[in-house]
Structure 1
C-alpha cells in the first residue's frame, strides 16, 4: 500500500509544481507580451512542464516500449530545457532580444541536431532492465550521449556565465532582480544535486528523481518576481493567483483519488479545463488592473494638463486686461479729438473731409467697444468684475436705451418702437449700468442685423411658469426684430465666447463677445438670457429676465430708501 500512496504523492507533487509553473509563466507573459524576457520565461516554463511529465512517466509505466520512448523524450526535452534556460539568461532582463550571429547560425542548429539525435538509438539504444514503478529502469547508452551531455551542460554553464557577468555589472533595482534570480537558481541547483545525484549515487535512493518540476519550482518563483519587477504584486492579482492555484490543486487531488478509469479520464479533463480557465482568468485580471493603472495615469496627466491650461488662461486674461487698459486711454483720446473736430472746435471742416472723419469716429467707437468687451471678459473670468447694486427700474433703463438707439434705426428706415409694460414695473436691486450695457448691445444688434422691417423693445412683468424660460416671477426685457434670424443649432451656442450667428458672419464688425458678456452680467443678477427664432431670415426675439425681489430683498430696498 505504501508504494501506491507514494506514487500518488509523487503525482500530486509533480502536478502541483507543474500547475504553479504554468500559472506563473502565463502571468509574466500576459503582463508584457512584447517583452523578450517574458516570452523566454514562458517558453522555459512550458518546456519544464513537458520535461517533468516525461520524467515522471518513465518511472511509472510498466511497458518497456513506452518507458524507452519516455526516456528518449525526457532527454529530448532536456536539451530544449537547457536551451530555454540559456536563452532566458541571455535576454534577461531586457525588453528586446539581441542575439549574436553565433546564436542563430551555430547554437540553434546544434541544439536542433542534438534534440533530433536523442530520439534515435545513437543516444539511447535499448532498454536493458525494466524497473518496478517508482524505480529507475536501465538503458543501453549510444555514442551520441556524450554529445547530449556536452551540449546540455554547455548551454547551462554558458547561461550561468552570462547571468553572473550581467549580475556583476548591474546596479540599483536591476541588481535586486538579478539577486532574486540567483537565489532561485542556487536553491534549484541544490535540490537537483541533492535528490538527483547525491541520493541516487551515494545512497541508492531514486524515489525523488521523478520530482524534477518540484526542484525547478524555486527557480521559477524567484525568476517570476524578478521578471515582473514587483509590478504584479497587486492585491487583486495575487488573490486571483491563489484562488486559481487552489482550484487547480483540488482538481488534481480529485484525479489522484479516482479509482475507476472513466472517472480518472473525466476528472483529468476537468483538471485541464480548470488550469486553462485559471490562466485565462489571471490574464483578464491583469488586463483589468493594467487598464485601471493606465486610466489613473491618464487622469493624473489630464489633471496636470488642466492645471497648466488654467495657468495659461489666467496669464492670457491678465495679458488681455493689461493690453486693453493700455489701448483704452489712447482710443478715448482719439475719440475725444475727433468729436471736437466734428463739432467745429478747431474750425469748420471742409465737406470732402466730413465723411472720412465720421468713418474714423465710427471705427474708434467700435475699437473702444471691443476693448470694453475684452476688459469685461477678463474681469469676469478672473472674478474681478465689480457690481454696484442699487434700486433701479428696468423700464426706465429700457426707455433711455430706446431713445439712444432710435436715430440709428430711423436712419435705416426701420420701425423702432418701445412697448410699454401693462403693469407697473417694480424697482429691483441691481447694477443699472451693467444691465444698460446688455440692453444697448441687444438693441444695437437687432438694428444692425435687420436690413428692413421693424425692431420692438419691450419690458414686462411675468409671474413665471414651469417649462418656460421664466420659471419664477421676473421682469423681462426683450428685443424682437424681423432681421436675419437664428438657426436652431446656433441658438444653443449663441451666448458663448466668440460665437456669432449668420447675421454676424455677414456683418464683420462684430466680435462675438457682446452676448457672452451679457449672459455673464445677467447671470450675476440671478437671471437668464435666451433667444427664440422661427429660423434663418425669419427674425428673432432675444430676451433676459431678472427675478422679482423676495421679501428679504424688499426689506433691504426699504431700508436703503429710509437711509437715502
Structure 2
C-alpha cells in the first residue's frame, strides 16, 4: 500500500497557482516581477537577436522567470512532494541569474565574449549545486506546520555564489569605470552595474532573510528589485540606445503605468492600494512633464525646420539663377569660340589640299597638327554648346524621314581616310533601306562621334559599323577591337563628365561629354543608346536603337 501523501492544508490549488490562502501581496509582487522581466527580456532579444549582450540579458532572466513561476506554485500548493521538488530546483537555478548578470556586465563593457577557460572554471564552481540538489544535503526534510522544506546547511552554498557574483560585479565595474576615458561609456558602465547590483542584491536579501527567519512573506519584497532593474535598463535604452534598441520614454512610462494600474486588481487592503496609487501618481506626474517637454521640443524643432526649409528654398532659387547664368555664359562663349575655330580648321584644310599652292615638306606636319587640333576643339565646343542648349531647353529638332542605312554609310566613308591613316580596318555590315523618323543632322553628329570615339580608343585592329533591322526597331552598332571598358565603368559611362580611368592615355582631349550628349539626343528622338564590353583590352560596342518608320 502506497504511503499517504502529506498535505499542508485541505484546499488544493486551482490551475497550480490559485489558492484562497495565498496573500494577495504575493500575487502582486510575483506578477510585477514576471511581467517586467518578460517584457524586458523579449523586447531586447527580438530587437537584435544577433547581439551577444541582448542574448545574455534574455537568457539571464529566463531562470529568474522560472524561479518566480515556481515560487507562485509553491505558495499555492498543499502537496509536500511538489513543494520539495520545486524548492530544490529553485535552489539550483537561482545562481544562474547572478552568473548570467556578471556575464552581461563583462560582455557589455568589453564588447566581446569571455574565454573558454573562464566558462569552464565557472561551470566547476557551479557544479556542486547540481550534485547536491537531489540529496538530503540540499533539503533535509519538510515542516508541515509551516508548509516549507527544511533547508540543509549546504544549500546555503547558493547564497555564497550569489554574494560572490554581486561583489565581483561591483569591483570589476568599478575597476573598468576608473580606466575608461569616455564620459558617456563611464555613465553606461555605472548605470548598468548599479541596476544589476540593485536587482541582485534586493533579490538575494529577500531570499537570505527568508532562509534565516522563515518569514517568507516579508522576503517577497526581494522581488521588487525587478522594477529597479527595469528602471535602469529603460533609462539606458532611452538615453544611450544600448542593446541596439530605439524606444521612446513615453512607451516605457505608459507600460509601467499599465502594469501598476492592472496590479490593483490583485489587491484588497486599502493601505496597499494607496501605495500603488501614490506610485502611479508619481509616474503620471513624470509622464506629464515629459510629454509637455516633448511637445514643446517638437514645436521648436518644427519651427526650426520650417525656417531651414525657407532658407533652403531661397538657396535653391539662387542656385537655379546661377545655373541659368552659367548655361547662358557657356552658350555665349562657345558661340564666340566656334567661329575662330571654324576659320582655323577651314584654312588649314585648304592649305592641306593645296589651294594656296605647294606647301614645303617641313610645314606639312605642322599644318596637319593645326587641322587635327582645331577639329578636336571644334567637337569639344560643339559638345558644350549642345549641353547648354539641352539644359536651357533650347535644343531644336527637325524630324524627317531618314534612310539610316545610307546616312551611316556616308558618315563612315567620310571618316574612312582618318581610320586608314591610323592603320585600322573599316568594316561595313549595313542592311539597305532601313528608314526611321529622326533629325538627320543630330543623327549624323551621333554616328560621327561614335565612330570618332572608336578610332581614338583603338590602337590597332578594326572598327565595324553595323545597321540591321530588329522586330519593330533598328539597331546601329559601332564596335571596335580597342582598349575596352571595365565592368564597373559601364553603368556611369553616359553620365556628364564621366570617363574611364585610363581614357586619358588614349585621348588627352576627351571631356566625358560626347556620350552624355549622344544619350540626350537619342532619348529626345525616342531611342536608346547602350554600351557593352567584355573588359579591358577586349574592345567595346556602342548600340543605338530607334523605331522603324
Question: Scaled by the length of structure 1, what TM-score is found?
Answer: 0.51
Whether 2:229 is the aligned partner of 1:219: answer: yes
Q: Deviations over 1:23-78 (max 9, x none)?
A: 11121222232332222211222121112223333333222222222221121111
Aligned-partner Cα distance in 2 for 1:81–1:445: 75
Two-structure CA RMSD over aligned residues (Å): 5.7
Aligned-partner Cα distance in 2 for 1:386–1:379: 8
Whether 2:219 is the aligned partner of 1:234: answer: no
Aligned-partner Cα distance in 2 for 1:60–1:337: 110
1:502 aligned to which of 476, 481, 485:
476
Question: Which entry has the higher C-alpha Rg, 1 or 2?
Answer: 1
Aligned-partner Cα distance in 1 for 2:201–2:145: 29
Whether 2:130 is the aligned partner of 1:121: answer: no
Aligned-partner Cα distance in 2 for 1:448–1:175: 65
2:29 aligned to which of 5, 13, 26:
13
Counterpart mapping for 1:389-400 below 5 A: none
Residue in 1 aligned with 2:127?
A: 112
Residues 17 and 214 in structure 1, CA contact (< 8 A), matched pair in contact too? yes
Q: 1:447 to 1:167 in 2, by over 3 A?
A: closer
Q: Deviations over 1:403-428 (max 9, x none)?
A: xx9xx79x99xxxxxxxxxxxxxxxx
Residues 127 and 139 in structure 1, CA contact (< 8 A), matched pair in contact too? yes
Residue in 1 aligned with 2:169?
A: 159
Residues 29 and 224 in structure 2, CA contact (< 8 A), matched pair in contact too? yes
Residue in 1 aligned with 2:303?
A: none
Deviation at 1:513, TM superposition (A): 6.4
Aligned-partner Cα distance in 1 for 2:359–2:385: 38
Aligned-partner Cα distance in 1 for 2:86–2:231: 27
Residue in 1 aligned with 2:189?
A: 178
Residue in 1 aligned with 2:6?
A: none
Deviation at 1:139, TM superposition (A): 0.4
Residue in 2 aligned with 1:428?
A: none
Deviation at 1:239, TM superposition (A): 4.0
Residues 184 and 219 in structure 1, CA contact (< 8 A), matched pair in contact too? yes
Aligned-partner Cα distance in 2 for 1:190–1:26: 23
Residues 51 and 74 in structure 1, CA contact (< 8 A), matched pair in contact too? yes
Aligned-partner Cα distance in 2 for 1:36–1:444: 63
Query: How many residue pairs align between the two structures?
Result: 379
1:70 aligned to which of 79, 82, 86:
86
Aligned-partner Cα distance in 1 for 2:527–2:366: 36
Residue in 2 aligned with 1:463?
A: none
Deviation at 1:346, TM superposition (A): 3.1
2:97 aligned to which of 81, 98, 118:
81
Q: Deviations over 1:153-194 (max 9, x none)?
A: 323322222122223334311222233234435654674577
Residue in 2 aligned with 1:425?
A: none
Residues 34 and 65 in structure 2, CA contact (< 8 A), matched pair in contact too? yes
Aligned-partner Cα distance in 2 for 1:200–1:109: 25
Whether 2:467 is the aligned partner of 1:484: answer: yes
Secondary structure at 2:23's aligned position in 1?
helix
Q: 1:113 to 1:200 in 2, by over 3 A?
A: closer
Aligned-partner Cα distance in 1 for 2:168–2:222: 21
Question: Scaled by the length of structure 2, what TM-score is found?
Answer: 0.52
Secondary structure at 1:127's aligned position in 2?
strand
Secondary structure at 1:333's aligned position in 2?
helix
Q: Deviations over 1:89-141 (max 9, x none)?
A: 2222444213362x223122221332342332222222244415xxxx25051
Q: 1:193 to 1:359 in 2, by over 3 A?
A: closer
Secondary structure at 1:484's aligned position in 2?
strand
Secondary structure at 2:137's aligned position in 1?
coil
Aligned-partner Cα distance in 2 for 1:218–1:327: 80
Residues 526 and 546 in structure 2, CA contact (< 8 A), matched pair in contact too? no
Residues 341 and 374 in structure 2, CA contact (< 8 A), matched pair in contact too? no
Q: 1:26 to 1:93 in 2, by over 3 A?
A: farther
1:373 aligned to which of 369, 373, 382:
382
Q: Deviations over 1:451-473 (max 9, x none)?
A: xxxxxxxxxxxxxxxxxxxxxxx
Counterpart mapping for 1:355-434 below 5 A: 367=376, 370-380=379-389, 383=391
Q: 1:445 to 1:145 in 2, by over 3 A?
A: closer
Residues 383 and 517 in structure 2, CA contact (< 8 A), matched pair in contact too? no
Whether 2:101 is the aligned partner of 1:91: answer: no
The gaps in structure 2 that reach 5 residues or longer are 1-18, 269-315, 401-406, 415-437, 451-465, 483-513, 529-542
Residue in 2 aligned with 1:549?
A: none
